[in-house]
Amino acid sequence: MTTESSVCIFSLTDKDIPKAKDMDNAVEWLKNKGENPHYLRFSKPEGVIKESKVLFLFNSRIFGEATVKESPVALESTEQKQLKQSEDILYRYKMKFYGHTIKIYKYHPTKDEVTDKLKIKFTRLYTYLTSKQYKDLLKMAKM
């Protein structure tokens, strides 16, 4: 298991961002995230530990980032059941971000732009970046 923090892009859908119909909703969701738990529906992102950077992708655009405060942990069955009843979604893991590290990008690079420029291939859920790819992506996002 790695002890080095990573940079990871989380591919999100409208099930991950409540009431998100467009990019404006997704941006508002991230701005208001603070240190509230972030719930994951599928697998645990390997290598995403405290101090890792997580970038957020929605509707094929990377729109922001945050730094991990608490690494992903499996939900206890009682919390899982409560969330399932209230949101009708089966979550498996939860994690937290430092609220003060949330950044919204000035420009939201598309997956195609990032793929062409950084020569990466996106995976379904979690795409990992090298330090150089992350720095180049920040330039694309005008940060």
Please say if the pLDDT value at position 143 is more than 70: yes
Model confidence band, residue 17 (pLDDT cutoffs 50, 70, 90): confident
Q: Lowest mean pLDDT: which of 4-13, 48-57, 92-101? A: 4-13
Q: 10 Å Cβ neighbour count for 2?
A: 10
Question: Residues of the chain with pLDDT > 70: what percent?
Answer: 97
pLDDT, position 14? 86
Please say if the pLDDT value at position 2 is more than 70: no
CA distance 12 to 63: 11
Q: Taking residues 55-77, report their average pLDDT.
A: 96
pLDDT, position 134? 96
The partner residues of 73 in beta bridges, in order of sequence, read 94
Non-local CB neighbours of 128 within 8 Å, separated by 6+ positions: 6, 7, 8, 9, 47
Domains of the chain: 7-140 (3.10.590.10)
Instruction: Specify whether the CB–CB gap between 126 and 141 falls below 8 A.
Output: no
pLDDT, position 141? 96
Q: What is the pTM of this model?
A: 0.92
Q: 10 Å Cβ neighbour count for 109?
A: 23
- Give the model confidence (pLDDT) of 25-36 as tens digits: 999 999 999 899
What amino acid is encoded at 66 in this protein? A
pLDDT, position 4? 67
Tell me whether residue 142 is exposed, middle or buried, using C-beta atoms within 10 angstroms of its C-beta: 0 to 12, 13 to 18, 19 or more.
exposed
